[in-house]
Structure 1
């Protein structure tokens, strides 16, 4: 399979395991750069080490392939803010891999705001790559799309972490 095809596949999959050979990683980086993208290394739960695609800093984002925080409905954005707070309880720690939470904890975090139906928002956020769901144990985690955020956005989130809905007490490892 050619590297451009692998880059296209990675765009659809959102995450792939880190190739063992450094030459394969270098070839993927070159193909991503040629496509106006960059590769971002992601260390997920259970020590999974993978790659995801992000836009190069100077590349414009298009509505066909959004980057940065999720769009969607107001409920999607508020639900993601709660997930961010629950899955990243300590803003002094790295954003990923974060900790696991549950849809129930997100629902509880949003009750004071009058938001009740969060399952559809969590499902959309998962489909967009901002969350990862484990249907086996019912947990949710931050997804690989979060790894593509620019450092400036993460720094702003660190400063505003206390304003996100929810609290860290609802998290669980």
Structure 2
């Protein structure tokens, strides 16, 4: 972590995260704050710690219009699969969801399947629906919203970036998250 703060912040912005090999220098925190950003350290069990660049509450760019910020629409399969991951990996609504706990991939896929057909191809059979949900897990892993290790799924470091305002919004639907109990 000997690199200058501006370079480190640029690397975090470009790659989403950088490995945390020592304490984050105070200068990095100051430079991030000057840009309306905050640094978040995240440790996914079994992985190296990382530091990421997040937004302070109230300064995240607004999307739409002529702001230059566009948000892509996420498919229903990805959204519902992520909801099932939250339901399986976030055991205590009073806590921040990250890091949460681990859940078996099969439990998450079964929770998604219990919702019923999500896509037209899902109506054709369970294998197609399972394939779509497994693909959604991979896309969510790529987005760092979850972390997959073998058959174990955990919430990913991008969830550590959620502000208290965002967590409060998700808490409001906590009881509606798809869940299946793991077999004893």
Structure 1 length normalisation: TM-score? 0.78
1:94 aligned counterpart, secondary structure: coil
Distance in 2 of aligned mates of 1:127 and 1:133: 10
How many angstroms apart in 2 are the aligned matches of 1:26 and 1:4? 13
Give the match for residue 127 of structure 1: 142
Alignment of 1:131-150 (within 5 A): 131-134=146-149, 137-150=150-163
CA deviation string 1:15-34 (max 9, x = no partner) = 3344534xx52122123234
Q: Give the Å deviation of 1:159.
A: 3.4
Equivalent in the alignment of 1:79: 81
Deviation at 1:79, TM superposition (A): 0.8
Cα separation, partners in 2 of 1:72 and 1:11, compared to 1, 3 Å: same
State the partner residue of 2:56.
56
* Aligned position for 2:5: 3
Distance of aligned partners of 1:157 and 1:59 in 2 relative to their CA distance in 1, 3 Å threshold: closer
Q: Is the 2:40–2:160 contact (alpha carbons within 8 Å) kept by the matching residues of 1? A: yes
Q: Give me the whole-angstrom Cα distance separating, in 2, the residues matched to 1:96 and 1:133.
A: 14
Aligned to 1:100: 102
3-state SS of the aligned residue for 1:110? Answer: helix
In the other structure, the counterpart of 1:30 is 30
Aligned-residue offset at 1:132: 1.2
Q: Secondary structure at the match of 2:74?
A: coil
Please give the alpha-carbon distance, in whole angstroms, between the structure 2 residues aligned to 1:8 and 1:42: 18
Gaps of 5+ in 1: none
Which residue does 1:16 correspond to in 2? 18
Bigger Cα displacement from structure 2, 111-120 vs 75-84:
111-120
> How many residues are matched?
164
Q: Distance in 1 between matches of 2:62 and 2:6?
A: 20
8 Å Cα contact 1:55-1:61 kept in structure 2: no
What do you get for the CA RMSD once the two structures are aligned?
2.8
Any unmatched runs of 5+ in structure 2? Answer: 119-128
Distance apart, 1:71 and its partner CA = 4.9
TM-score, scaled relative to structure 2: 0.74
From the two aligned structures, give the one with the greater helix fraction. Answer: 1
Partner of 1:151: 164
- What SS is found at the alignment partner of 2:94? coil
